[in-house]
Amino acid sequence: MQTSPSDRDRKPFRIYTAASLGTAIRHYRKQAGLSQAELAEQAGLHRSYLSALEQGKETEQMRRILRLLRHLGVRMTLEQADW
């Protein structure tokens, strides 16, 4: 079976750094056709924070958790929930 066109949008993102998380978030936001302002308001956070997130801003906590998972040999992935 070949990859169907709609499958392209379902490719999972592997998250191992803050940068990859930002890339994924931006991807999904655009796919949803939302601006940063819209999504930020819907999710109840400030637009400047979302902007920084998408650019891969690394916060301490994120670093800590990713480090933890790395030490445990665990992989984190994001993918579109299909329903």
Partner DNA sequence: CCGTGATGTCGGGATTTCAAGACAGGCGGG
Partner DNA sequence: CCCGCCTGTCTTGAAATCCCGACATCACGG
Q: How many CA atoms lie within 13 A of 37 on its CB side?
A: 0
Binding mask of the shown chain, residues 24 to 63, with x at each position contacting DNA by CB under 7 A: -----------xxxx-----xxxxxx-xx-xx-xxxxx--
Kindly tell me which residue out of 10, 11, 14, 64 binds DNA, with binding defined by CB under 7 A. 64
Binding mask of the shown chain, residues 12 to 51, with x at each position contacting a copy of itself by CB under 8 A: ---------x--xx--xx--x------x--xxxx---xx-
Q: Which does 11 bind (CB under 5 to 8 A by kind): DNA, a copy of itself, none?
A: none
- Retrieve residue 18's tokens: 């803050």
Q: Is 58 left (phi over 0), alpha (psi -120 to 50) or beta?
A: beta
CA torsion angle 26 75 82 9 (round to 10): 50
